Amino acid sequence: MTALTLSTAAASGLRADAIVVGVAKGAKGPVVAPGAEAVDNAYDGALAGILETLGASGGEGEVTKLPAPTGFKAPVVVAVGLGAVPEKDDTFSAEALRRAAGAAARALAGAKKAVFALPITDAADAGVLAEARRSARTPSTPTRRTARTARTRRTARPRSPRSPCSAASPATRRTRRPSRAPPP
């Protein structure tokens, strides 16, 4: 099982397979969420513009991958949508954080380590991230065995109902069916 570690270090200096940042849906396009300032600075403050060019809007659960800037110890930056920008002095809901973390974890399936630079404000938000990471690992698609079983069931030919002559006497059945030649 993968361990979850909390750190206050800058995301750019941490070794990982990817760095996950939050992006919100603003009035004029995507807005980089708090917690991703170091990543945005590495892109010379143009991360939101780059994401907009790639078609990202910041919509809830939206995932956009891009190469990490020079100097990062992770090769990929994953921008995940958090939904609409919260009102002034408000924070992102725990549900928005959970969905974003889950979408990022599913997009990074197979990665050994990811750094999440999402806008968490307290220990409850950190717990939400751990829950999302754990639930993203739980397969929601059928396993290989059940997929094979379902495929077998779909392709199996349905049994035809018994012919009317099956209820008849053995003598009647012999006359209705072609007889087989006896073995020599």
User: Tell me, what's the pLDDT at 142?
Assistant: 46
User: Tell me, what's the pLDDT at 55?
Assistant: 93
The alpha carbon torsion through 29, 53, 77, 65 (nearest 10 deg) reads 110
**Sequential pLDDT tens for the chain (184 residues):** 455 566 777 777 888 899 999 999 998 999 999 988 989 999 999 999 999 999 999 999 899 999 999 889 899 999 999 999 988 878 888 889 989 988 998 898 888 888 888 888 888 877 877 777 666 554 444 445 555 555 555 555 555 555 555 555 555 555 555 556 666 6
User: Tell me, what's the pLDDT at 20?
Assistant: 92
User: Tell me, what's the pLDDT at 166?
Assistant: 53
User: Tell me, what's the pLDDT at 40?
Assistant: 93
The candidate with the shortest Cα–Cα distance to 78, out of 121, 109, 124, is 109
Place of tokens 């009035």: 27
The β-bridge relationship of strands 63-67 and 29-32 is unpaired
User: Tell me, what's the pLDDT at 1?
Assistant: 44
Q: Degrees (nearest 5) of the Cα angle 141, 147, 152?
A: 155
